[in-house]
Structure 1
Amino acid sequence: MKSFLILVWEIFKILVVSLAIIIPIRYFLIQPFFVQGASMEPNYQDGEYLIIDEVSYRLGEPLRGEVVVFKYPQNPSEFFIKRIIGLPGETIKIDDIKIIIENKANPEGFVLDESSYLKNVPPMGQETTTLKENEFFVLGDNRAASFDSRRWGPLPRNNIVGRVWVKAWPISQAGIAHAPNY
């Protein structure tokens, strides 16, 4: 009986230590996320399991090209995944298959080269959006099937949960996520 109680006590200690390590990591450092839908294809598929880095944006700002998970501005209980295209203070001009970014460094604008992660971009029509402070313009990689900033407007900074850090499932596609170099 005494050895059974010792075993139970040891298991209890292991559980307490494990929870003391896992809970802070889960709630303050990283978060799991399952991709739902086709809006980020071909780069992120429905059902893929991702690990989201929640720390980076506490220390720095989101960068163009990073894929982020965020609370949908019109219903914060829903989480979306999209790619950051426009940064605070920029003007984003969509001209069919081209995205033109105007900012202080490029007042005449530059065409965003998305060829490293998109092969076929369907026409997106014409649209111009000027972002305010702490606003981002996000798009799904599957432009034809994405509900994004083109429909509901800029993404507020405080809605961003974190950036995609690791693609964990399926194992055959596991790896660290990288933002493109524009």
Structure 2
Amino acid sequence: MKRRSSLVRELIELVILALLIFFAVRLVVQVYHVEGVSMQPGLQNDEYVLVYKMAYIFSASPQRGDVVVFHYPLDTSQDFIKRVIGLPGDTIRTDNTHIWVNGTELNEPYITGPTNPLAKIWKVPPGSYFVLGDNRLQSDDSRYWGFVPKDYIVGKAVAIYWPVSAWELINTYQSVYAQIKK
């Protein structure tokens, strides 16, 4: 009888430990399913990425080039994935094929093609970010609906994990943004 109660106790402890690990991981990491083509060529439709939810919680803020998952500002029940182009206080200017951040033209090797629907200038407000899809021709992004408040950002996409054949860390192309003055 004593042996049986010991086994039951150990099983209960194992289940509790498994649940604690599960919830701890869910606090830190989220899975995001890429739907659509707005982030091609880097992210493909039906890929799964790991999102580091703690990336911006304590002190760090999103940086230009980070690929982030966020609640869509026009319908917060939907999550989108895009690349951060503009930080709070930045001035973003576009013509039909170019983008400038604070007067510096971006040379973006990760986009499918340099397409913008119109020439426009945006000033990113405090606490918000300007995000664009890498497939500019087929991306619903800040050019159309405005800025993403920091509170809407779920986390930083760090790796493609499924399908296994596509596994890789997500490149933030920091060299593209290194020349931009604040």
Same fold (TM over 0.5): yes
Q: Secondary structure at the match of 1:81?
A: strand
What's 1:14 paired with? 14
Poorly superposed stretches of 4+, deviation over 4 Å: 1-9
What's 1:85 paired with? 85
Q: Deviations over 1:118-171 (max 9, x none)?
A: 242234321111111111110111111111101111111111110101111111
Q: Secondary structure at the match of 1:56?
A: coil
User: Retained in 1: the 8 A contact 2:127–2:149?
Assistant: yes
Q: Which amino acid aligns with 1:26?
A: R
Cα distance in 2 for partners of 1:175, 1:4 equals 47
Cα distance in 1 for partners of 2:32, 2:132 equals 18
Identity over aligned pairs, percent: 37
Report matched runs for 1:130-149 at 5 Å. Answer: 130-149=123-142
What's 1:111 paired with? 105
What's 2:66 paired with? 66
What's 2:170 paired with? 177
What's 2:180 paired with? none
TM-score, normalised by the number of residues in structure 1: 0.88
What's 1:40 paired with? 39
Q: Which amino acid aligns with 1:53?
A: Y
Unmatched tracts of structure 1, length 5 or more: 103-108
Q: Which amino acid aligns with 1:40?
A: M
What's 2:179 paired with? none
Q: Which amino acid aligns with 1:113?
A: N
Unmatched tracts of structure 2, length 5 or more: 177-182
Cα distance in 2 for partners of 1:77, 1:56 equals 21
User: Retained in 2: the 8 A contact 1:67–1:164?
Assistant: yes
User: Retained in 2: the 8 A contact 1:38–1:142?
Assistant: yes
User: Retained in 2: the 8 A contact 1:94–1:124?
Assistant: no
What's 2:122 paired with? 129
User: What is the RMSD computed on CA atoms of the aligned residues?
Assistant: 1.7
Q: Which amino acid aligns with 1:163?
A: K
